[in-house]
Structure 1
Amino acid sequence: MTAVEWDEVKRLAADFQRAQLTSTVQRLSERNCIEIVTKLLDLKLLEVVFTTDGKEYVTPQQLTREIRDELYVHGGRINLVDLVKLLSVDLNQISARAAEIERTDQNCSLVLGQLIDKTYVSRIAEEVNERLLQQGQVTISDLTRQYDLPSDFLQTVVEKQLGKTIHGKQDKTDPQVFFTESYVARNQACVRGALAAALRPISVATLLSQCGVEERLFYSIIGNLMETKQVAGVITGKQQSGSSMYIPSIYSRSQNEWVNSFYKQNGYLEYDALVRLGIQDHQLFVRRHFPNEKLLLLPTCALGPQVLDQVEAAVEEAVATGSMVNIMPLLPSFFEPEDAKEILTEVLKNSKNKYTSQNVHVFCSTVVLTEQFIQKLTKPFDAIIQKKAEEVVSSGAYLLAQAESKVQNNRGLAEQDESSTKSDRREERRKKATGGKGGGGTQGRETKTKSTKKKYLRGKAAAGDDSDEETASSGKTSKSSVNKLELLSFAEIKGVLTADELLQEEGDDLAELIVEIANHIHPLLNMSGLVAAEVIFESTMATTAQNRRKTHSELQDKLNAMFTNVRLFEKGIKQFSDKNVEQPLAKYLIKTLCTEMTNEIFSYVAQENMIQYDEAKELSPEVRMKILNDLPNESKEPLLKLHKSLNTNSVEEVLNCVEGALGPGICDMILRKPDKKKERSQLLTHRQALLEQLTSSEDPALVLHLASLVLFQAVTQTMLHASGRFVSNILTYLQSHLTAEIFKTMQQYHDLVLKLLTSGADDDHRSHIVNALQEGMLAIKEIATSFKKHSSTEKSQQQSE
């Protein structure tokens, strides 16, 4: 404010004063006064508070004085809402002035909309002290209900006045409880007397009802009594749960003395006896009372090592003598079979390392039989089993069981093929939906070639799409079907065991034991009988059909598989437009797989017509001609055409001759029609076989050979049967289908393989070539296994460019 303005204010104040001192004629009107006050308020030279009726002004200082006066009149506590009615001032103004009073005056507090001064707080403290003297204790919750004030405020008031106005103590366990010394001493004397009079366990609830002490204070008192050793005993159970028990020390001592004496005399502790002593949690008591004893906790008792040693000694004696032992007579009379079972399990577990070479069996939960004893029991069955095996073979029952197993096997394979067909259809629909195309992939099964082709073609009796898993499963089905044939019935085994002298020596009541032993040896004896029957049956079959190697259906399946393979390999050969490559590949296919298929046909025809030849050696052209000369005239012409077709370069001509040789009157076999799905499965199987052989191979030449075949199939989606000398031709064909980097890697590896094959054994440069081949082998395998991934990535890069 400038000096001019301040001078003007002084003049106005002087004029105002003169106006007040003048006579009535010169007095200001109410309107002029309002304007003057309004002007002063606008200039912020005056601060007033309007009343709620709007007719009066009050300054903040005056409002504060009036609030203090009202606080004094109301005894040091007044609600701000009541001040609104008394002073006719807005609640916001009163709240603001009350907050200012609380800030400037330490003796005043603003609590939940109430203004409280020191005098009221002192009166509260005096009243609390009087209540303490009357009742012995007070709680903050009771004070809160009485004074209608927050518990934290009252807690602070009582704690500040404790030891001054309020003569008492605060509970250590519950800070909201306050009591006097005399109250605690009176209750403590009552509790001490009750505990001193107790000679046996008593519940805390009973003590509380007799002493009339609060549960919270009781636990505090008994804790102090135990710390000062004024009472001898312990509290068990959870506090504040109503299930706590007080156990006097004299009772615990007598209880422990009885438990120690009983265990020392008997070596065990019965749970029922502990319950009668008042011990409810018996297992916990046993663990705590005997921390260093290796006790076995059973359902009905706790067993010490003394009894376990007796049982273990009896079991070891039975194992050493190859006999049996029942442990129930070794145990006290109250033991149950469930207890004996756990004891026996523990003994066998602890004694396992002592006789690992001996096998023991437990029957009826309490009887231990050694394997040697069981063999003695099964020895009388040897003659019976042999006789039963001969009867079941001579009667034809064993052959009938085998026939049924074969029918079940064929049914299982048909269901498996149907399932596979459905799976292929779903896969085909899925690929069509996603826009994919069929072809060779890494998830299929493929036929092995080269060094593994004979193993594949001769080792398998089924078609090329039959897997090892199918053969294993069929064998398992057959075996399980034959196992259903029962040579010895359960009643027969039970009858023989009942009359056995070894078991009669052990006692009279052995009916249940005999039943369990019979159940145990029943499948073993039947399995032995089936083995004996199989030996007899195979001996019989060997004498009647010694020279017959294969059945008609097996050979038909095998030839169908070989025929399909050759036809698929022919498609791969036709990928080469160069006759100089195509013809040698066709000739190699005829020389290997076609010749093998022809030999299978000639072998079958020779067996059917009883033509003798050396079966240990592979059929040569001379042997085939000898077989042809001994055949009937109606069979000669188709087989002669087949024999001569092996000297041509046309795979198609060989296949036509094979089809004629398998016709009626010669082999009486049917060639299956081409199946696209099976051909695709064959492609996948062949690729998978190549990849498996490639992964396990460490020969550089073979790795290059297999990688070339895999790449060729991935590019053309056809199989190729070629020897290692065709690798260079295959790489030439693949050059236009591979990236420059991949082809360069393959060609460099091919050149290194040629150098290795042409280098001498003592050549110093040979070791460098071998190292280079070993280093590059992983890259070749990676190219073959992930060719599709690389090709698709390269293609996408070219499109982006």
Structure 2
Amino acid sequence: QKISLHFLSLLSERNCIEIVSKLIAEKQLEVVHTLDGKEYITPAQIIKEIRDELHVRGGRVNIVDLQQAVNVDLVHIENRAHDIVKSDRTVQLVLGQLVDERYLDQIAEETNDKLQESGQVKISDLCKAYDLPGDFLKQAFSIRLGKIIHGQIDQDNRGVIFTEAFVTRHRARIRGLFRAITRPTPIINLITRHGFQEHLLYSMLEELVNTGHLKGTVVGGRQDKAVFIPDIYAKTQSNWVDSFFKQNGYLEFDALSRLGIPDPMNYIKKRYKSLPLLFLKASCVGQEMVDQVEASVDEAISSGTWVDIAPLLPSSLSVEDASMLLQQVMRAFTKQPPTLILGDTNVVSEKFLNSCADLFIDLMHQKAEKEMKNNPVHLITEEDLKQSALLENASSSKKDKKDERRKKATGGGLELNCLIKGSMISLKLTQNLSWRNTNTHIMSFLTFVCRSKHLEIPFMSQEEIEEVLRKHVKDCPDDLITELADHLIRPLTKRYQEELRSVFMSSTSTSSGASRRKTIKDLQEEVSNLYNNIRLFEKGARHFTDETQTNIAKHMLKTVCTDITNLIFNFLAADLMMAAEDYTAITSEMRKKILSTLPEETRGPLTKLHISLNGKVNYTALYKLGFIYCS
């Protein structure tokens, strides 16, 4: 042994390091270098030193602080700390700290002291005080309730610990406060004013209501809008609702909301399950009010008059609700004579509507006759004439062969030759054929006008219709007069178009052949007079120079020649209800409109005649024109 000790004393530090390194490499020895590298330390020694440090520091130590105390790398301390937690259930690793049961018992005792002093302790406050997670503290304190901590945790809000005395005191306060309430009161207001614990209050309130210690109900659940309604108020509320409905026959949702009923519609449905109620947008009405409206509507239909249901309904009912009620009532009259709802609350029978329309029959006939007499050419717009020309062209192809046969059958007539821009054209107007073709064209044009919405001849404005209705319909409110006029204006306009057609057909059928011949004779006389004037002007112009003759010729085109052209155009326009009272007032634009309405075989020659007014006068042609017309 002395030799061995002597041998050991002879080992150098270098030899020792080599021996230890060899043992570590062969895994026969497990040691850890210290931070300064001068010492080796075993894992068991690290664990022992960690436990000693945990005990010295009162059962709670941070792993970072252990590095300086043990003097080894942090990795080795963390590994040994996990080994301690695994082997010892009384030690836990929380947020990088080792905590043992002794420390938890200590903070539990401190918490119990606070709890007994204040009656309640919030876990959130303890988390801030001890810098520990809330879930960890809840779990630790739950084990110690009744042992170290003399209190209980709220089952609805596990973040609060309170004593039994605190619960009893709050139960008494809540019971006394809510027994004093006589009207619906928001619970959140009571919590704010009296400082109640919200979850504790809801739990106790529910308990007191269920056990019968409080007479009332909580509406709205555990929310900010929760309201406590005492039974005495609910009884008074129900009595008011029953009394109002019995006296008036309806209930307004807003009125029930003002009483504190949060869902009026469901409240009414539950309270009056057996009654046939009609629910509207903002109210509900009973069967008596529905029957009253039905009776008034039935009487109006039977007597052929009108009725406004607004006076039959409470003034507080909105117009929209009144309209919904009327729509529902009208479903019972589907088999009755047709009726019309004007506005929102007016019911008008078909008989009354027809009587109002009949007021305009005489006015319509008078206006139609006046229109026939005073219908000037400028009343027809360019768009109207384009549409009428399209209609005439579409039907002309079907009539070409028939017209050709008629020309051969009727033959002979009034032939008119005139020189236009140096060339002779032939305009053949057959008296009988022209009259038939013109009538056909008029019928086609009139039919098109009556069918086209944009080409209708207006009858009366809405204001004029309202004025007539006010004179003849008594005791009718202005709003109903306006609705009637708006409803009648379209049918009256359509009827007026038919009246125009009827008056035209009557006038054309009564015009005899004698009057037709008389008109043609008058035309010949006027043309003859103008023709004689042209001859006189021509003879007088020969005594002037060529330049003066040219100026006289231009003047004749603008005056006498234009008058002859207008006379012919006005004659044909008379058959189309487009004649002007004074043919001298016809302008170039009017002639274009008349041309657009004429049949194809007449339009071509007259178009050339119209254009010739801008050319030169050929006296030879004018003489021939006058000779033919005057003959």
Both proteins in one fold, TM over 0.5: yes
Alignment check: 8 A CA contact 1:392 1:398 kept: no
Other-structure match for 2:453? 480
Shift in Å at residue 53 of structure 1?
Answer: 0.5
Between stretches 81-90 and 486-495, larger displacement belongs to 486-495
2:485 and 2:121 map into 1 onto residues whose CA distance is 80
1:144 and 1:278 map into 2 onto residues whose CA distance is 42
2:503 and 2:242 map into 1 onto residues whose CA distance is 68
Alignment check: 8 A CA contact 2:449 2:455 kept: no
Alignment check: 8 A CA contact 1:84 1:91 kept: yes
User: Superposed, which structure 2 residues align to 1:577-726 within 5 Å?
Assistant: none
Alignment check: 8 A CA contact 2:121 2:162 kept: yes
SS of 1:499's equivalent in the other structure is: helix
Other-structure match for 2:329? 347
Other-structure match for 1:229? 212
Decide which of 137, 144, 159 is 1:154's aligned counterpart: 137
Shift in Å at residue 180 of structure 1?
Answer: 2.2
Decide which of 271, 278, 294 is 1:312's aligned counterpart: 294
Alignment check: 8 A CA contact 1:203 1:246 kept: yes
Shift in Å at residue 202 of structure 1?
Answer: 2.6
Other-structure match for 2:89? 106
Other-structure match for 1:372? 351
1:321 and 1:152 map into 2 onto residues whose CA distance is 83
Change over 3 Å in CA distance of 1:227–1:249 after alignment to 2:
same
SS of 1:132's equivalent in the other structure is: helix
Alignment check: 8 A CA contact 1:319 1:370 kept: yes
1:268 and 1:44 map into 2 onto residues whose CA distance is 97
Decide which of 531, 538, 541 is 2:498's aligned counterpart: 531
Other-structure match for 2:23? 40
Tell me if 1:22 matches 2:6. yes
Shift in Å at residue 220 of structure 1?
Answer: 1.3
Decide which of 478, 488, 493 is 2:465's aligned counterpart: 493
Deviations 1:333-390 (A, max 9, x none): 5445454333323322x324343xx322223432211112110121132222223223
1:514 and 1:70 map into 2 onto residues whose CA distance is 102
Change over 3 Å in CA distance of 1:532–1:513 after alignment to 2:
same
Other-structure match for 1:325? 307
1:152 and 1:116 map into 2 onto residues whose CA distance is 15
Specify every segment of 5 or more residues in structure 2 that has no aligned partner in the other structure, as ranges: 401-446, 512-600, 606-631
Tell me if 1:56 matches 2:39. yes
AA aligned opposite 1:534: R
Deviations 1:85-113 (A, max 9, x none): 11111000000011111112222111111
Other-structure match for 1:247? 229
2:448 and 2:142 map into 1 onto residues whose CA distance is 90
Alignment check: 8 A CA contact 1:405 1:477 kept: no
Deviations 1:428-464 (A, max 9, x none): xxxxxxxxxxxxxxxxxxxxxxxxxxx9x9699xxxx
Alignment check: 8 A CA contact 1:144 1:150 kept: yes
User: Superposed, which structure 2 residues align to 1:498-517 within 5 Å?
Assistant: 498-500=470-472, 503-504=473-474, 507=475, 510-517=477-484
Deviations 1:532-568 (A, max 9, x none): 2234446767899xxxxxxxxxxxxxxxxxxxxxxxx
2:370 and 2:502 map into 1 onto residues whose CA distance is 13
Specify every segment of 5 or more residues in structure 1 that has no aligned partner in the other structure, as ranges: 1-16, 413-454, 461-473, 545-663, 669-801
Shift in Å at residue 275 of structure 1?
Answer: 5.6
Other-structure match for 1:136? 119
Change over 3 Å in CA distance of 1:79–1:458 after alignment to 2:
farther
Decide which of 331, 340, 361 is 1:382's aligned counterpart: 361
SS of 1:325's equivalent in the other structure is: strand
Deviations 1:576-609 (A, max 9, x none): xxxxxxxxxxxxxxxxxxxxxxxxxxxxxxxxxx
2:489 and 2:161 map into 1 onto residues whose CA distance is 81
1:538 and 1:163 map into 2 onto residues whose CA distance is 113
Alignment check: 8 A CA contact 2:450 2:494 kept: no
Alignment check: 8 A CA contact 1:296 1:304 kept: yes
AA aligned opposite 1:45: Q
Shift in Å at residue 490 of structure 1?
Answer: 3.3
1:287 and 1:294 map into 2 onto residues whose CA distance is 10
* TM-score, length basis structure 1: 0.53
RMSD: 3.8
SS of 1:247's equivalent in the other structure is: strand
Alignment check: 8 A CA contact 1:140 1:177 kept: yes
Alignment check: 8 A CA contact 1:20 1:27 kept: no
1:83 and 1:34 map into 2 onto residues whose CA distance is 27
Change over 3 Å in CA distance of 1:535–1:165 after alignment to 2:
same
SS of 1:362's equivalent in the other structure is: strand
Decide which of 185, 189, 205 is 1:202's aligned counterpart: 185
Alignment check: 8 A CA contact 1:48 1:60 kept: yes
Decide which of 272, 289, 304 is 1:290's aligned counterpart: 272
1:297 and 1:482 map into 2 onto residues whose CA distance is 48
Other-structure match for 2:529? none
Alignment check: 8 A CA contact 1:408 1:477 kept: no
Deviations 1:662-702 (A, max 9, x none): xx99x99xxxxxxxxxxxxxxxxxxxxxxxxxxxxxxxxxx
Alignment check: 8 A CA contact 1:141 1:151 kept: yes
Deviations 1:598-652 (A, max 9, x none): xxxxxxxxxxxxxxxxxxxxxxxxxxxxxxxxxxxxxxxxxxxxxxxxxxxxxxx
Shift in Å at residue 308 of structure 1?
Answer: 1.2
1:148 and 1:486 map into 2 onto residues whose CA distance is 91
Other-structure match for 1:679? none
Other-structure match for 2:168? 185
SS of 2:334's equivalent in the other structure is: helix
AA aligned opposite 1:44: K
Shift in Å at residue 290 of structure 1?
Answer: 3.1
SS of 1:22's equivalent in the other structure is: helix
AA aligned opposite 1:74: R
Change over 3 Å in CA distance of 1:458–1:96 after alignment to 2:
farther
Q: Percent of aligned positions with the same letter in both sequences?
A: 39
Larger radius of gyration: 2
Change over 3 Å in CA distance of 1:516–1:102 after alignment to 2:
same
Shift in Å at residue 512 of structure 1?
Answer: 2.9
Change over 3 Å in CA distance of 1:541–1:398 after alignment to 2:
farther
Alignment check: 8 A CA contact 1:409 1:477 kept: no
